Amino acid sequence: MQLRSRYHRLGCALALRFLALVPWGIPRARALDNGLAMTPTMGWLHWERFMCNLDCQEEPDSCISEQLFMQMAELMVSDGWKDAGYEYLCIDDCWMAPQRDSEGRLQADLQRFPGGIHRLANYVHSKGLKLGIYADVGNKTCAGFPGSFGYYDVDAQTFADWGVDLLKFDGCYCDSIKHLADGYKYMSLALNRTGRSIVYSCEWPLYMSPLKKPNYEEIRHYCNHWRSFADISDSWQSVKSILDWTSAHQDRIVGVAGPGGWNDPDMLVIGNFGLSWDQQVTQMALWAIMAAPLLMSNDLRNISPQAKALLQDKDVIAINQDPLGKQGYQLRKVSNFEVWERPLLDLAWAVAVINQQESGGPRSYTISIASLGRGVACNPACHITQLLPVKRELGFYEWTSMLKIRINPTGTVLLRIEDRSQTSKSLL
Ligand code: GLA
């Protein structure tokens, strides 16, 4: 990111009103660089698994309440999630009371969050984690709670005062494309002005694209990550549609991603109900290739050891978090195999091959090593490790060799290619 661009004059009356009141209020000023999300954000977000469950009488363990987040915070620490890198515990929609307080500030529903968000943030911080929250650029959140339109500065300051570390800013109920764009920009600058480090997660291109082509360069100047595609659900069809959208638009979106600003294909649904084991492997592998934020939406109190091991796989997370920060892309699609690759630090590459054929059994695919990594991944030779579905050293390969792999239907084989010849040369 980010936030480096010159401020464009906001057109909406609301913003002008604030600018009149606040003389240092930014026209032409350079916004601060928030220095966050230098690698994709990792954490947990309640939406896909817990949605807008308000019924704490009937379902005390799965309603949106401080108890849910406190339990998740404890497990994130005790069960190795924090050590694996999952740091942000994020609240989505439905945390608010239906009305603002007498001073116009957002407030949590006090039945479900008796200690309020400030106390929850303190608790989350005491565990060494960070807290994310949710609001909306328009008049209401998608679930109908108070929106931030008209209150951007107040809400940014409230979140900072509470000790919030990430804001997911949704785009429902915005009455014009201009308000949408101006609101997303204004909130970015308002968060910066609070002086608190707050990761800014946007859905600006998702809401903009039916009306106007998003300008991703501009979006990157204001947001740490941004959603472009519909909400994920717990199904293979949903995961597949996200991959299809991403490859179809890769010429526009891949180059824009990098340290500080990432394309967000939405939450990891690994550990829930809808994906087979192979499909969970595919989601993890491809979210690593896409340099996607890794925000799990699952129940950490009840997750299989296999899903946990996949989500905590250090080698796969290392690809996702690679410091070079380059997003991968689909290299080719042939007879229902998709080959994706991603350049990594120190001339390494990650390669994922998906078997998209949904009938039959495992199928073999033969890769010409010379075709990988723009012809240089393995020149003149390299070492290849299979990371998923299970870790296996495949050994040394020459540029001219072929590699045969076998992949289950809707599954993925994820490889890491290291140019050991470069390493040995530099040691000489
Ligand atoms: C939108 C967002 C989702 C979630 C819901 C909450 O649909 O895209 O990720 O935040 O709103 O209402």
pLDDT tens for the 428 residues of the chain, in order: 433 332 332 333 333 333 333 333 333 233 237 999 999 999 999 999 999 999 999 999 999 999 999 999 999 999 999 999 999 999 999 999 999 999 999 999 999 999 999 999 999 999 999 999 999 999 999 999 999 999 999 999 999 999 999 999 999 999 999 999 999 999 999 999 999 999 999 999 999 999 999 999 999 999 999 999 999 999 999 999 999 999 999 999 999 999 999 999 999 999 999 999 999 999 999 999 999 999 999 999 999 999 999 999 999 999 999 999 999 999 999 999 999 999 999 999 999 999 999 999 999 999 999 999 999 999 999 999 999 999 999 999 999 999 999 999 999 999 999 986 654 444 43
pLDDT score for 235: 98
* Cβ–Cβ < 8 Å for 351, 387: no
Distance 142 CA to ligand 1 centre (A): 6
What's the burial of 79, exposed, middle or buried (CB within 10 Å: 0-12/13-18/19+)? middle
- Report the separation in Å between the CA atom of 226 and the middle of ligand 1, taken as the mean of its atom positions: 13
- CA 5 remoteness from chain centre: 23
Which of 93, 204, 207 most suits a substitution to test ligand 1, by most atoms within 8 Å of the C-beta?
A: 93
Cα end-to-end distance, the chain, whole Å: 38
Give the residue, by CA position, lying nearest to ligand 1 atom 11.
Answer: 142
Rounded-to-integer distance, Cα 341 and Cα 349, Å? 7
* Ligand 1 center–CA 170 separation, angstroms: 7
Residue 129: HSE in the Cβ half-sphere, 13 Å Cα cutoff: 31
Q: Quick count: other Cβ atoms within 10 Å of Cβ 13?
A: 10
CA 424 to the chain's CA centroid: 36
For residue 170, indicate whether it is catalytic: yes
3-class SS at 227? Answer: strand
Cα separation of 73 and 126, whole Å? 10
Is 101 a known active-site residue? Answer: no
The CA distance from 196 to 190, in Å, is 10
The pLDDT value recorded for residue 422 is 53
d(CA 355, CA 71): 37
- Quote the Cα angle for 341-407-401, to 5°: 60
Task: Kindly name the residue from 61, 79, 161, 231 that is annotated as catalytic.
Answer: 231
Is 164:121 a contact under the CB 8 Å cutoff? yes
Pairing state of beta strands 166-170 and 225-227? unpaired
Q: Give me the pLDDT at residue 403, please.
A: 98
- The residue whose CA has the least distance to atom 1 of ligand 1 is 142
Q: How far does residue 217's CA lie from ligand 1's centre (Å)?
A: 24
Task: Name which of 226, 325, 189, 223 is nearest 1 in CA terms.
Answer: 223
